[in-house]
Structure 1
Amino acid sequence: MTQRKLKIAFLGSSLVSAYWNGAATYYRGIIRALHERGHRVTFYEPDAYERQQHRDMEDPDWAKVVVYEANETAALACLKNAQEADLVVKASGVGVLDEFLEREVLKLQTKDRLVVFWDVDAPATLDRIDQNENDPFRNLIPQYDLILTYGGGDPVVDAYESWGAKKCVPVYNALDTATHFPVEPQAKFECDLAFLGNRLPDREARVEEFFLNVATRLPEYKFMIGGSGWGDKPMSENVNYIGHVFTHDHNAFNCTPKAVLNISRESMARYGFSPATRVFEAAGAGACIITDYWEGIDFFFEPETEILVARDGEEVAEIMRLLNPERAAAIGRAAYEKVLAKHTYAHRAAGLEALLHSHFNQRTKAKETVA
């Protein structure tokens, strides 16, 4: 039987700009893969945080992008247009009008239209509602047809279902083979260990432990940090801060250093099963990845063979002391082979499509039973 091709309205932070928007490459990978399977996505994003002034890309041919003014009137106009969709997605962390959109989007639910909440920072959301008994999102969770998450495994699924979610399913990060792949090294990114990530409150202490303090321990090694917000952060002389790294430079940034470091946000490390997008992007470029420890790593990569794991800064330093270029290259090749075989957005989109069609088929059967 031919699977139904869906019209999808997606309300998120930004598809065209990764500026202060770490979810951008995740959105791009998923939405491009859905388009390749015949689904059509309109992505609604607010004009906020200077993201439109720091675009990484023009409007793609695999999604329609609608940029709206960051006010309720403009947002309501987008929701009116979204009535043409079969599926409406409200992502977490749009950055403006989140409470408003999370409430208003539920008014679009019908017997023929699913409304989904897609949480791209589930650990932070769950911590927030657990700590604030007046958080309005608590009462909205059971009303959504489906909760999708960026990751989190069973701990996140169990937590969401304890708040009354009808169903919660992780859709993990993956490799977008159209944008992340091996390239020639670039001299401007040469170093022993590189880290890419924006400065955020629940990441900063871990960056100090796993990266900046390691640089102090290894003064003879060269370190590089990219991302927004680190300009006034004290760093040792062997650390080169290069600011925001545009998406088109990610491959060279990952390919060139001897190793690249993944540092999870505190909440994601605590819940586990939350590999950051950069892990798959780096693996897709053939990088040797060192990651902080979190439960579930071996669900995605084999430690010591496809990825190196450190539980603290001293272990990062010890890995760097022992890591030679030959072993780094071998680990990078193994990681590259693994993501191509099991962790591309084509894999994720196929699973998501099956999930959505199951929901629509259940709706159809229920209607036929009533009739």
Structure 2
Amino acid sequence: MSKGLRIAFFGSSLVSAYWNGAATYYRGIIRALYDRGHRVTFYEPDAYERQQHRDMPDPDWARSVVYSAQGTEELDRCLKEAADSDVVVKASGVGVFDALLEERVLELQRPATQVVFWDVDAPATLERVEKDRNDPFRALIPRYDHILTYGGGEPVVSAYKALGAKECVPIYNALDPSTHHPVAADPRFAGDLAFLGNRLPDREARVEAFFLKAAELLPQSRFLLGGSGWGDRALPENVKYLGHVYTQDHNALNCSARAVLNINRDSMARFGFSPATRVFEAAGAGACIITDAFKGVELFLEPGQEILVAHSGEEVAEHVRKLNETESRRIGQAAMKRVLSEHTYAHRASKVEEVLGFQKSGTRERVA
């Protein structure tokens, strides 16, 4: 049996999706790496009440270590332990000690240990360092063995290489069919259009334009809004606010509404090639997806056949108005077939192995 990699992963949270949009992505990638023989220890801070809103126990496919966000003593111990790993990953947006971690993980770099920066919000990171030439992370970019990104395509790759990155490879969102799949419809989530997303400054205007505008144009239709932070927002009467929707309810939501809406954040929409985790979750459940237009959508799902694309709230409303149950089911089934054949986390984990130089024999060639 081949020997897998020992991977130390510093990220926001593996066990809680609360104010943590990267949770599904982390879980999918890490579980797929485990299935391929690798062992991951995930280090996360006790911050933002995530541990109080956990939506899963410690998994059997990863070791979860929670460290205090009050002082660095526990984090220091985690870094010392991580020094014995084959690969050390610092993800963007940990939310606590980010600048410190970006520098400290590089101290663990040696011939037997690759150090990776895994950017789960590359457009935001790149815009930040381009605006501030004195941003400490800017000078660290060339020192990492690899930059992996949640998405962004060639625009993100070119931007990182221009900043001196040795290598930049997008590892796109995908589907974990063991967690996101068709289930029976749930009356709690019955409606014509559902949108799930936390209220964030660079998303709110697009939610207003694509979701709330469509709701205003279709007063007789039922709209569902899920996610944290929307409780004090004035909403049209035909919009039901669900609050935070736990991961275990995502399948039911995706299988109960006639259509599910994807809305990219401003930075993701500008760079393109960054389909959200929600797209693959919904496709895996056989949902009919409507998305705001973004460059590169056709690389993942075929517009008009596997996904519906809208350039405005008016176009979202028109899709909802025309969509019947038969067409919704047809599009959803086509999307599910496509993602199962091309866009699972098993596909992404294979790409990660390729980047890290891991060979099935268990040997590893260091990729400079």
Residue in structure 1 matched with residue 224 of structure 2 by the alignment:
224
1:320 CA drift (Å): 1.1
Partner residue, 1:31: 30
Aligned-residue CA RMSD (Å)? 1.3
AA aligned to 1:333 is Q
Q: For residues 87-166 of structure 1, what are the structure 2 equivalents within 5 Å?
A: 87-166=87-166
- What is the DSSP-based 3-state SS (H/G/I as helix, E as strand, rest coil) of the residue aligned with 2:286? coil
CA distance in 2, matches of 1:189, 1:73: 45
The alignment partner of 1:10 has SS state of: strand
Write the distance in 2 (CA, Å) between the matches of 1:23 and 1:346: 17
Partners of 2:54 and 2:27 lie apart in 1 by 13
What does 1:34-45 align with in structure 2 at a 5 Å threshold? 34-45=33-44
What is the CA-CA distance between 1:363 and the residue it aligns to?
Answer: 3.2
Gaps of 5+ in 1: 367-371
User: Residues 168-217 of structure 1, C-alpha deviation per residue, up to 9 Å, x if partnerless?
Assistant: 00000000111100000000000000000000010000000000111011
| TM-score normalised by structure 2 residue count | 0.97
- Map 1:250-329 → 2, pairs under 5 A: 250-329=250-329
After TM superposition, give the deviation of residue 121 of structure 1 in Å. 0.3
Counterpart CA distance in 2 for 1:201 and 1:80 is 36
TM-score (norm 1): 0.96
Task: Give me the whole-angstrom Cα distance separating, in 1, the residues matched to 2:15 and 2:66.
Answer: 10
1:185 matched residue in structure 2: 185
2-structure distance, mates of 1:222, 1:301: 26
The residue type equivalent to 2:246 in the other structure is F
Secondary structure at 1:341 match in 2: helix
Which consecutive residues of structure 2, in runs of 5 or more, have no partner in the other structure?
none
- Percent identity among equivalent residues? 66
Where 1:363 maps in the other structure, the secondary structure is: coil
The one-character-per-residue Cα deviations of 1:60-113 (angstroms, maximum 9, x if unpaired) are: 000000000013222111100001110000000000100000011100000110
Separation of aligned partners in 1, 2:131 and 2:83: 34
After superposition, give the CA deviation of every residue in 1:223-269 in whole Å (9 maximum; x if it has no partner).
00000000011111000001000000000010100000000001001
Provide the rounded CA distance (Å) in 2 between the counterparts of 1:314 and 1:161. 39
Contact 1:259 1:289 in 2 (8 A): yes
What's 1:331 paired with?
A: 331
Query: Counterpart of 1:283 in 2: which secondary structure?
Result: helix
* 2:15 counterpart of 1:16: yes
The count of aligned residue pairs is 364
Supply the distance in 1 between the matched residues of 2:93 and 2:340 (Cα, whole angstroms).
Answer: 29
What amino acid is aligned across from residue 56 of structure 1 in structure 2?
D
Instruction: Give the CA deviation at 1:321.
Output: 1.2
Matched-pair contact (CA < 8 Å) for 2:356–2:366: no
Shift of 1:3: 5.6
CA distance in 2, matches of 1:362, 1:34: 18
